Amino acid sequence: MENAGRRDITSQAEETSAVELSHNLTTVTTEIKAYQSIGGQAIFEIGRRLKWVKENDLAHGEYMKWLKESVNMNPTTAQRFVKIASELPNRYSSTDLGWKALYEIATIQRTLSRKTSRRIVLLFYRPGCRYCQQIKRQVNRNEAQVNSSRQKETGVFLKVRTTNPANTRVLDRYQVESTPTFMVIKNGQVLKQYSGTNPAKIDQLMLRGDAK
């Protein structure tokens, strides 16, 4: 019965994806709360409605207040739901992935699909990987530096969880076979790749895009 119910919900989401959304804020609020009760596969519909309310100013300049008081959602989560609905193909709406996994996919795919001269550094990791845990502190320190205002215009750092089923395309595309693996990409081309835990090489690759 549970599987049949999920299929019904997914079919309903697909059928209503092309339907114009209501300009009545109360109606949209009720729809969002209904999708919240369904679970992960409703993330797209929630994000779609959040975007609709914001873009059409249905809350009349009080979007943040409406989020908190009517939808009971913080702005950061709302922004991520909107990004998922905007960036990911509809095929992901039938998955059982949670919003955090979907947000991860949306961020990775959006960044990799853009033609940019900025250096993109990917870290492919696996939860529970002993070697990944070994370099965690160093990676976090370097990540903060890469994402600082001084370097964010020239570099981007993303973590790719290999156990996330929806990352299969990325893993196949770059033929990643072990963790941790670092990869430097620029203008769509892989410039450098390194698998291992050598601190000096990790610093060189993450901070300068080089790993000799």
Tell me: the pLDDT tens digits for 77-102?
A: 888 788 777 766 555 544 445 555 56
Closest CA to 29 of 59, 82, 63, 70: 70
The more confidently predicted of residues 11 and 131 is 131
Sign of CA pseudo-dihedral 50, 53, 57, 63: negative
Checking if the pLDDT of 8 tops 50, the result is: no
In angstroms, the CA 16 to CA 177 distance is 40
| % of residues, the chain, pLDDT over 90 | 21
Cβ(132)–Cβ(95) under 8 Å? Answer: no
In angstroms, the CA 157 to CA 184 distance is 9
In angstroms, the CA 161 to CA 107 distance is 12
User: pTM higher than 0.75, yes or no?
Assistant: no
Label residue 133 by pLDDT band (50, 70, 90): very high
In angstroms, the CA 183 to CA 194 distance is 6
Checking if the pLDDT of 147 tops 80, the result is: no
Checking if the pLDDT of 56 tops 70, the result is: yes
- In a 13 Å sphere around the CA of 28, the CA atoms on its Cβ side amount to 23
